[in-house]
Amino acid sequence: MARKNKSVRPSPRELDPLIHERLRLGILSALVVQESLSFTELRDVLQTTDGNLSVQARKLEEAGYVICDKRFEDRKPKSTYRLSPEGRAALESYLETLAQFLPDLQAVRGTRRDTPLRARIHPLPSHS
């Protein structure tokens, strides 16, 4: 999702909703740092339940953002997750879009705290 005109502020609608969910963003972020992680490692790093991780990882797998390798180790199933090239590109695009909000956030943080919140936040453009 490359932006052609960098001077136009992005709409929050441009953030990939599949990535924007907290746990899915955590999964992708962990896999950017570590080439592959087992289900158990992901669960522990993200401090979530087996069921929640399973559901969210499956959504990313169905979208082609992660690759799940399943095998048996000592008769126990072991799933290992890797970030796909599509997942890496989608995460990079998501982060680029998110970064475009940072100047506005920096401006808000730089204003005096006694300034009313409405005066510190400017409406985003409509991209219908």
Grouping H, G, I as helix, E, B as strand and the rest as coil, residue 91 is: helix
Q: What is the pLDDT of residues 83-99, one digit of tens each?
A: 999 999 999 999 988 88
Grouping H, G, I as helix, E, B as strand and the rest as coil, residue 93 is: helix
Domain count of the fold of the chain: 1
pLDDT (average), residues 14-36: 93
User: Is residue 128 in a domain?
Assistant: no
In the prediction, which pLDDT does 72 show? 93
User: Is residue 76 in a domain?
Assistant: yes
**CB distance 37 to 31 below 8 Å:** yes
* CATH number of the domain within which 104 lies: 1.10.10.10
User: Is residue 79 in a domain?
Assistant: yes
Q: What is the pLDDT of residues 39-69, one digit of tens each?
A: 999 999 999 999 999 999 999 999 999 999 9
Q: What is the CA radius of gyration of the chain?
A: 18
User: Is residue 122 in a domain?
Assistant: no
Domain encompassing residue 109? 17-117
